[in-house]
């Protein structure tokens, strides 16, 4: 019906094209606008931005009526090298949007997934062994250029590559396409994140070598505890995870007038202002809306007048 309406109302009936044989312009009707309609779908999930006034484009998940995932676009789950913790969370959370008979019930079910992974972070991975923790927390970055070509440019991948060069030798990192796998350590305290990337390969080395490089990278010569849980910057990972939960769960819930389903992750300050403006009973109305109401009242008055005239005629 949309294509039919566009074709009926917006077709150019004076479109001209040159006929090379006759040298004359031929007039014809032309409509090159066509819409492709997807769906209908049972559910569509749209994330929100954590910044005020900013929209996230081309990110959505849609489900068919039988509960199967029709399309997933723009999320970390589809990307290489993203944090496995985020990907594991997203692989579980989207299908939960199909649960519950009301909107608050739906968000309660969704919140269970977020709370599970928050418990893992709050307990510093007590329920996981070291390998599982590495799999969830470590990041992968592929370097598109050789290490020397980056110069003084700073980044977690560059820091990881430089430390791999010290650890394994420059020959191992001289080619482009190097895969850097690392974690973010808590130390050195006060240092930027780019300076706290530690290659995971160090953990697999001999104990004496591991201690030497850890003390050097962390700038902690007195350090004796080299357990992963003691080294990781858990606040950094929790903050990263919290932003993902805000985008998918808490901010969309607030904009749909649902109480925060994950209270451990507070709303950003700008959201409270947005909600107050949304529910303000004394907010200023637009002049256009006032004119629309006036026109509607005039129409009613005219109908009454015409009815009264008809009665007089009778």
Which of 216, 224, 201, 212 is CA-nearest to residue 138? 201
> How many domains, in total, are found in the chain?
3
Q: Is 165 exposed, middle or buried (0-12, 13-18, 19+ CB in 10 A)?
A: middle
Lowest mean pLDDT among 74-88, 186-200, 251-265, 290-304: 290-304
Write out the DSSP string of 16-49.
EEE-TTT--EEEEEE-----------SEEE----
State whether residue 156 is helix, strand or coil: helix
Q: How do residues 31-44 score in pLDDT, each as one tens digit? A: 888 888 787 899 99
- Residue 140 sits in the same domain as residue 221: yes
pLDDT over 70 at 265, yes or no: yes
- Residue 150 sits in the same domain as residue 16: no
Is residue 268 included in any domain, yes or no? no
Is residue 98 included in any domain, yes or no? yes
pLDDT over 60 at 309, yes or no: no
Interatomic CA distance for residues 219 and 148, integer angstroms: 24
191, 184 in Cβ contact below 8 A? no
pLDDT at position 298: 62
45, 61 in Cβ contact below 8 A? yes
- Residue 103 sits in the same domain as residue 244: yes
- Residue 203 sits in the same domain as residue 136: yes
Is residue 308 included in any domain, yes or no? no
Is residue 294 included in any domain, yes or no? no
Is residue 222 included in any domain, yes or no? yes
- Residue 111 sits in the same domain as residue 55: yes
- Residue 53 sits in the same domain as residue 80: yes
Average pLDDT over residues 188-207: 86
Kindly report the CATH number assigned to the domain that includes residue 209.
Answer: 3.40.1820.20
**Bridge partners, residue 30, by sequence:** 12
Is residue 312 included in any domain, yes or no? no
pLDDT at position 295: 57
Give the chain's mean pLDDT. 85
Containing domain of residue 187, as a range?
132-231
Is residue 298 included in any domain, yes or no? no
Is residue 101 included in any domain, yes or no? yes
pTM of the model: 0.75
């Amino acid at each position: 019906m949309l294509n039919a309406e566009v074709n009926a109302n917006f077709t150019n009936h004076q479109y001209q094209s040159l006929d090379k044989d006759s040298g004359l312009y031929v007039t014809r009707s032309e409509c090159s606008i066509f819409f492709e309609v997807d769906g209908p779908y049972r559910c569509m999930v749209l994330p929100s931005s954590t910044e005020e006034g900013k929209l996230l484009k081309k990110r959505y998940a849609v489900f068919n009526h039988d509960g199967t995932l029709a399309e997933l676009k723009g999320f970390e789950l589809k990307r290489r090298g993203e944090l496995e913790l985020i990907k594991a969370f997203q692989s579980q959370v989207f299908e939960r949007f199909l649960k519950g008979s009301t909107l608050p019930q739906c968000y309660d079910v969704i919140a269970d997934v977020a709370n599970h992974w928050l418990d893992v972070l709050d307990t510093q991975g007590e329920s996981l062994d070291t390998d599982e923790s590495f799999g969830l927390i470590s990041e992968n970055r592929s370097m598109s250029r050789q290490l020397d070509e980056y110069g003084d440019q700073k980044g977690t991948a560059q820091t990881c590559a430089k430390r791999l060069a010290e650890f394994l030798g420059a020959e191992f990192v001289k080619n482009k396409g190097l895969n850097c796998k690392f974690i973010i350590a808590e130390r050195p305290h006060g240092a930027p994140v780019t300076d706290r990337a530690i290659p995971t390969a160090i953990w697999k080395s001999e104990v004496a070598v591991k201690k030497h490089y850890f003390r050097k990278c962390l700038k902690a010569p007195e350090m004796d505890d080299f357990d992963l849980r003691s080294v990781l910057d858990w606040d950094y990972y929790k903050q990263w995870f919290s932003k993902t939960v805000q985008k998918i769960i808490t901010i969309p819930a607030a904009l749909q007038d649902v109480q925060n389903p994950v209270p451990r992750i507070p709303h950003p300050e700008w959201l409270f202002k947005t909600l107050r403006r949304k529910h303000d009973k004394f907010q200023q109305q637009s002049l256009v809306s006032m004119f629309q109401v006036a026109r509607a009242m005039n129409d009613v008055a005219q109908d009454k007048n015409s009815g009264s005239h008809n009665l007089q005629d009778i």
